[in-house]
Amino acid sequence: MPSSSSELHPVSGARFVCERVAGPSLAYAVAIHTAGGVTHRAELRWDADGQAEAAPPCPDPWAQAELLKLARVLKHSQQQRLTRWRGP
């Protein structure tokens, strides 16, 4: 049974869902489900220097910073899917 959108949004903080995108370079499709009921979508990639970049950047500075922290895990593990909740 698929989850409803309301089940994805936590009461506080945000739920981060990152799914690897097929292709020659490491990239993830990202959905950030915030406590306010908003979902921000972006693509996470790494530049030539190995720095993570999310495009478009999340308008919530806290969520953007948390995504970039999770990017370190993804860069090293290169797993297919990562789901994490982070509190403010």
27-47 pLDDT, tens digit per residue, is 999 999 998 889 999 999 999
Q: What's the chain's Rg over C-alpha atoms?
A: 13
Residue 88 in domain = no
Number of structural domains found in the chain = 1
pLDDT higher than 60, residue 6: no
Stated pTM of the model: 0.86
Domain span at 48:
5-82
Residue 65 in domain = yes
Which residues on adjacent β-strands are paired with residue 40?
Answer: 32
Which residues on adjacent β-strands are paired with residue 9?
Answer: none
Residue 68 in domain = yes
